[in-house]
Structure 1
Amino acid sequence: MIYRLPIEDLRQIFLSLPVPVCLLDRETHYLGANHRYADICNTSLDVLAGKSMQDFCPPELVANARRDFQVLDTGGIIPAHEIIYRNTTFLVSVSPLSHGRDKTVSAIAVTLTDISKLKLEFAAVNENLAVAYKQMQEHAETDALTGLANRHGLRQFFERELRRCTQEQRPISVAIIDVDYFKSYNDHYGHVAGDEGLKAIASAIRSSIRSRDYATRYGGEELVVILPDTDLAGAEHVAETILHAVRSLSIQHKGSPFERITVSIGVVGVKTVPRGLYSADVRDSLLRSADKALYAAKDAGRNCVKVWNDKF
């Protein structure tokens, strides 16, 4: 139902609308505006009346209003859009006012909704979502016990670095680390002590590598370190550093001939990765070769480092 209200009542409703509203003619002169609109223009309704929009607004907003008339004349519509005026972000809605049989657009009603606070809230929500997403990724790629990366994280990092090293023709190396006689350690000292031992070893590994290197818990007591931009000689040096760091923990192990927790390490490295090979194939080949080197270390009596010269 449509009520016929007196003109003065309509005028008062218009003036008291809670959002800024103005009426513009085709020359972008103000036919009317409410108090909220006058406020954002930092003027009064009396001063605003009959003035040109360009007396109060920057040229780009005046150009937008003129372009709106052109779009409406062709039967188009003006989608809601954002503008920034006097350091405030507004959502703009434009409605045509027409008269006559040909429905010529003689004026437009422009409504401005202040969305600055809403955008700040959205930005805060998006930032929180980004932080939450990053945390989810970290949890998805992190071993809960040691804090090192897990197999999923290893795969992502390894393939990314292989692509980069292939493109830049840089070396890359891999070390596989296995805790010596770990089953007997668990049997003798219990799984809680075993978990603590793994955490201590993970810490020793972290302290022995660069921040750009990538240490992972590959499974059980087996750990893998990816060493980008590191040749075989450099990787062997890192492995020896890890070997001594674990020995220096001096964690007693009565079931080991070394009477402490030690590790065996297999190392493989390439000076460059030939272009044209799939990263996943190179990754698997390097891991297999590092595993062969690890078994060579075990065959040599454990508590040592062995290298494997890999070729493609």
Structure 2
Amino acid sequence: MITVQELMTPVGTFVAPEQGLCEVLALMQRNRHSCAVVLQEREVVGLITERDLVSVLARMLEADALSQVCAGSVMSPNPRCVSAKASLLDALKLARESEQRQIPVLGEDNALVGMITQTDMTQAYIQVLERQSELISANRTLKMESLQDSLLGIGNRRAMERDLETLRHQPGRQYALALLDLDWFKKYNDYYGHLAGDRALQRVSGAIKLHLRQHDSLYRYGGEELLLLMLDTDLEGAWQGANRAREAVQNLHIEHAPSPLGVLTLSAGVASDPGQDLESLIASADRALYYAKTHGHNRVVRSGVKETAPC
């Protein structure tokens, strides 16, 4: 919590009610203060502000009586004061309620210890807002990172579950899923090493992202398995989207010596059934993927339709 004591000017210009205005002005100029506190027996009894000075100077200059004016006749009486331990919020509220631009600050024995001005409070408030903005930005970054796979730069399992949960509350929204799995990828890792496997996964996800529609989302489902969520499409549209991903990976021509196909490829299973719950839909896509993996690889299979993509 920011306190008034941290913001205040430690020593202000303070004068007695009987002091002449010329002397008060000289003190304010010497101290470079825009106001003076009027004390009587150590008690704050008034403030002399720029507004007070302008008003009285205009009157006194017309009457040529400036030298006869004392501080007590110029001051705004009984100003509101604030404790040095009060918070910035308390000071801001007091300034708003009292319409004071300068507030005397009192210590534990109610003695004057400083002044806090509207400028002080405004600058402190700006600092608070800047810190809040930095925290909001940092939290937003952390949230994004918590929903992103650090290796592939796509949504992780948590992001997938969040987005699918959102769809659960949109019963009229049509969508489809595709489970994508790289063919013989364990053999790839064993043959080329896991670092090469990570680089291959990065290239694969990058190539697939280039072929996504505006409302499609790609997630890392687990290991080398990806999930493609396609909104506003039917089973046929999902098959086409998954097949574009399959072709994009094949066209990378990433060498895969242990594969019968010679290059890295993927297989996919797609599902789209508005009547199914999400778990059942994923299970349907998984069964279609299994069929693709056991019937030749490098192909896309529709849920419930054992039809393969051309190789």
State the TM-score, normalizing by the size of structure 2: 0.65
Q: How many Å apart are 1:196 and its aligned residue? A: 0.7
Aligned residue in 1 for 2:112:
none
In structure 2, the CA distance between the partners of 1:6 and 1:250, relative to structure 1 (3 Å rule), is closer
Is residue 144 from structure 1 mapped to residue 150 from structure 2 by the alignment? yes
Other-structure match for 1:155: 161
What does 1:29-68 align with in structure 2 at a 5 Å threshold? 33-37=47-51, 43=54, 45-47=56-58
Change (3 A) 1:123 1:308: same
Judge which range, 263-272 or 295-304, deviates more. 263-272
- Once the two structures are superposed, residues 217-264 of structure 1 have per-residue CA deviations (whole angstroms, 9 ceiling, x without a partner) of 111111111112222111111001001000000001111111100001
SS at match of 2:161: helix
Deviations 1:156-203 (CA, angstroms, capped at 9, x unpaired): 12211332x31xx12111111000000000111111111111001100
**1:50-84: CA deviation from partner (whole Å, max 9, x where unpaired):** xxxxxxxxxxxxxxxxxxxxxxxxxxxxx654699
Number of residue pairs aligned between Structure 1 and Structure 2: 240
Look up the match of 1:127.
Answer: 133
Deviates more, 1:8-17 or 1:128-137: 8-17
Aligned with 1:155: secondary structure? helix
1:148–1:216 contact (8 Å) kept in structure 2: yes
Q: Which amino acid aligns with 2:127?
A: E
1:220 aligns with 2:223: yes
Letter in 2 for 1:263: L
Q: Name the CA distance, whole Å, in 1 between partners of 2:221 and 2:246.
A: 18
SS of equivalent to 2:255? coil
Partner of 2:303 in structure 1? Answer: 308
CA contact (8 A) 1:83 1:91 kept: no
Q: Which runs of 5+ in 2 are unaligned?
A: 1-14, 39-44, 61-89, 106-115, 306-311
Question: Would the alpha carbon gap of residues 287 and 37 (structure 1) be closer, same or farther in structure 2, given more than 3 Å must change?
Answer: farther
The counterpart of 1:287, out of the listed 253, 257, 282, is 282
Amino acid at match of 1:113: Q
Report the AA paired with residue 195 of structure 1: D
- 1:113 and 2:124 correspond: no
Aligned amino acid, residue 48 of structure 2 = N
Letter in 2 for 1:121: Q
Question: Matches of 2:137 and 2:35 in 1, distance apart?
Answer: 36
1:271-298 deviation per Cα after TM superposition (whole angstroms, max 9, x unaligned): 477xxxxxxxx32222111111111111
Which amino acid in 1 is paired with 2:202? K
Which residue number in structure 2 is paired with residue 239 of structure 1?
242
1:261–1:113 distance in 2 versus 1, CA, 3 Å:
same
**The one of 176, 180, 190 aligned to 1:173:** 176
Contact 1:177-1:266 within 8 A present in 2 as well: yes
Matched position secondary structure for 2:162: helix
| Rounded Cα–Cα distance in structure 2 between residues aligned with 1:48 and 1:269 | 85
Q: Please, which runs of 5 or more residues in structure 1 have no aligned partner?
A: 24-30, 50-78, 96-110, 274-281
By how many angstroms is 1:121 displaced?
2.2
Tell me the C-alpha RMSD between the 2 structures: 3.8
Q: Which amino acid aligns with 1:287?
A: I
What secondary structure, in the 3-state scheme, does the structure 2 residue paired with 1:261 have? coil
Distance 1:265 1:36 in 2: 77
- The 3-state SS of whatever aligns with 2:257 is coil
Contact 1:22–1:37 under 8 Å retained in 2: no
| Match for residue 214 of structure 2 among 211, 214, 225 | 211
Normalised by the length of structure 1, the TM-score is 0.65
2:294 alignment partner, one of 281, 286, 299: 299
The answer as to whether partners of 2:288 and 2:304 remain within 8 angstroms in 1 is no
Number of the residue aligned with 1:183: 186
Give the structure 1 partner of residue 73 of structure 2. none
Identity %: 29
Quick one: distance in 2 between partners of 1:302 and 1:233? 20
User: Which secondary structure does the structure 1 equivalent of 2:188 belong to?
Assistant: helix
Instruction: Give 1:102's aligned residue.
Output: none
Matches within 5 A, 1:94-105: none
Instruction: Specify the alignment match of 2:85 in structure 1.
Output: none
State the partner residue of 1:70: none
